[in-house]
Amino acid sequence: MHVDKDLVAASATPLVLAILSEGESYGYAILKRVRALSGGELEWTDGMLYPLLHRLRRLGYVTTEWRTPPEGRRRKYYAITDEGRAALAEQQQQWVAVTRALNDVWPGSGAVLTALGEA
Amino acid sequence: MESVESQIAEWRAYIANAPGVNGHDVDELEDHLRHQIDELSAAGLTPDEGFLIAVKRLGEVDGLAREFAREHSGRLWKQLLMSGDDEPARAASGWLEALVFAVGAAVAIQVARLAAGFPDEEPSWLARNATLFVLPFLAAYFARGRQLDTRHWVLTATPFVLLALVVNVYPWGADSDTEVLVVFSMPVVLWFVVAYPYMGGTIRAHDRRMDFVRFTGEWFIYYVLIALGGGVLMALIAGIFEPTGVDVDRIAAWVLPSGAAGAVIVAAWLVESKQRVVENMAPVLTMLFTPMFAVMLACAAVVYAVTGIGDAFDRELLSVFDALLVVVLALVLYGMSARDSSTSSRDWMDGVQLIAVVSALVLDLMVLGTMFARIGDLGFTPNRTAALGLNLVLLVNLAGAAWLSARFLTGRSTLHRLERWQTTYLPVFALWAATVVVVLPPLFAFD
């Protein structure tokens, strides 16, 4: 299944914030997590993640830090801030509202959408 | 492995050249690329194959660069520039349109001059209305350029009509102070009116407001440059034609007003079409002058704090102070709008700005203290009221800016907040200037 580009873009922010709320991470790991979560159905161009991360940083939703892990290269880590968590909570409510509305007019797909909405 | 290293280096150099991508961004992307290559190699591909796939997954450099540019100055014009290859015709046809409006403004100001019998006579209505002969052309230029619909044209024109009515219908007294205040406040009010068509008929979008601030700064720089060039030209004309017995002063009296009026539109056109030129120059100017003003303000704050402001305080000093505070605010605002948001980390310029803002705040507080004492002794006059209002408006802005930039510098707030504060505050300036034009005169019986 191919998920519409606009939908991918709209879900990118809450998805990244949610992943970061599990703990700090870096670009490549975030992308892998996105792929794993969506079972490969959300197609991201890898490069697009970075402008998004930079935007989140400008809005104060995440902080960044360059660190060199013991085994590897210097790498930029992103961590969510309290503001980021607040924004995530806000986005969650919006998505719940959207999925609930869709749920009501799409009989039959209810179970899936409920799972999505309340997640 | 060697060939992959050289391929990565080439890719790095290529992507680093794209507009909107800086060195740290490339580091980050390279880390991503290497991760992907390692993983693909582990799955059995050769590093070469891994490189190809990893680059493909990162996306085309052009698209990537455009996303970066969009984020790192989410500004309309830059996107236009980025996609500008498709429509180079726009910039080329732009100059004719700008010229039409510039000539319109130049002719309008001449008609007004002739009607007033200037320079033999200098009726005060000419001074009150001067900007009304020029800025509507600028507003119309933007309204046309932004392809506004009829409703927005009407909304653009309404404030001009209302203000024209106000300044001409009010029964001004002879040698009226409020009239002089109106002469100085009208350009400010009308400039904010121009903001409406500039922002494409929206007033709430904070990004657009910031764009307008940056436009104002860059317009000012171009205007000064044009004025300097015009001055040199006039001096040369005088030098060459004086011996032939031509009355150079008479020529100047005709050329100067038209030139000054037309240059308003030409400067705006230059800002819009030669964005890259001024974009390179303006941040350098800000970087040069902000530290100088910071040092000067800090010294002034210390000196006046020690000696006290009371004795030296008179009307002239007050206007110097106010001019200084406005200039500082303009520098800070412009510095903010021209900031390269890809380096949203704190640097020494932020510290310098904070010094400037705090010093300005101290000076403003001292001025206000003295003014309150004055008004307590001597009562309100139009000038004191206008100055008091301006200083209060500045005080609130500077206090907010100082607080937020201190928090930003200590890492407890974001630059975004600071920008928001300034763009949210802009209408306050417009409202106060409008109050001086519309409300103060009747309040003081047009005296």
Q: What is the DSSP string of B117-176?
A: TTTT---HHHHHHGGGGTHHHHHHHHHHHTT--HHHHHHHHHHHHHHHHHHHHS-PPTT-
Alpha-carbon torsion angle B407, B408, B412, B418, nearest 10:
90
Chain A residues with CB within 8 Å of chain B CB: 26-28, 31, 45-48, 50-52, 54-55, 57-60, 73-76
CB contact under 8 A, B59 and A51: no
User: Which token pair is B211?
Assistant: 């764009």
Could you give the strand order of the β-sheet that contains A25-26, starting from the edge strand earlier in sequence? A25-26, A75-80, A62-67
- Chain A and chain B share a number of CB contacts under 8 A equal to 68
- Tell me how far CA of residue B212 lies from CA of B96, B154, B206, in angstroms: 23, 21, 10
Distance from CA of A22 to the nearest CA of B (A): 21
Asked if residue B438 is part of any domain, the answer here is no
Range of the domain at B129: 93-273
At B251-265, the pLDDT tens digits run 787 888 888 999 999
- Nearest Cβ partner for B59 among A48, A52, A59: A48
CB contact under 8 A, A45 and B342: no
Asked if residue B376 is part of any domain, the answer here is yes
**Angstrom distance (rounded) from CA B342 to CA B73:** 8
Q: Does B210 share its domain with B353? A: no
B31 chain-A contacts, CB cut-off 8 A:
26-28, 73-76
Whole-prediction pTM: 0.68
Q: Does B382 share its domain with B267? A: no
Q: Does B260 share its domain with B125? A: yes
Predicted confidence (pLDDT) at residue B75 exceeds the cutoff of 80: no
Chain A: residue nearest B74 by CA? Answer: A55
* Out of A87-101, B53-67, B83-97, B275-289, least confident range: B83-97
Q: Does B109 share its domain with B30? A: no
Q: Does B293 share its domain with B194? A: no
ipTM: 0.76
CB contact under 8 A, B72 and A47: no
Distance from CA of A85 to the nearest CA of B (A): 15
CB distance A27 to B31 below 8 Å: yes
Residue B85 pLDDT class (50, 70, 90 cuts): very low
Q: Which of B254, B273, B292 is the last residue of a domain?
A: B273
Mean pLDDT across chain B, nearest whole number? 81
Specify the fold of A5-118. Arc Repressor Mutant, subunit A (1.10.10)
Predicted confidence (pLDDT) at residue B120 exceeds the cutoff of 70: no
Q: Does B119 share its domain with B206? A: yes
Q: What is the DSSP string of B35-95?
A: HHHHHHHHTT--HHHHHHHHHHHH--HHHHHHHHHHHHT--HHHHHHHTGGG-THHHHHHH
B34 chain-A contacts, CB cut-off 8 A:
73
Q: Does B235 share its domain with B284? A: no
Q: Does B53 share its domain with B97? A: no
Distance from CA of B3 to the nearest CA of A (A): 20
Asked if residue B435 is part of any domain, the answer here is no
Label residue B181 exposed, middle or buried (CB < 10 Å: 0-12, 13-18, 19+).
Answer: buried
Query: How many Cβ atoms from other residues are within 10 Å of residue B312's Cβ?
Result: 11
Q: Does B291 share its domain with B268? A: no
Residue B70 pLDDT class (50, 70, 90 cuts): low
CB contact under 8 A, B58 and A46: yes
Asked if residue B147 is part of any domain, the answer here is yes
A47 chain-B contacts, CB cut-off 8 A:
29, 58-59, 63-64, 67
CB contact under 8 A, B342 and A57: no
Q: Does B294 share its domain with B268? A: no
**Angstrom distance (rounded) from CA B188 to CA B270:** 21
Domain count, chain B: 3
Which residue type, as a one-letter code, is found at position B111? V
Q: Does B245 share its domain with B98? A: yes
Q: Does B239 share its domain with B387? A: no
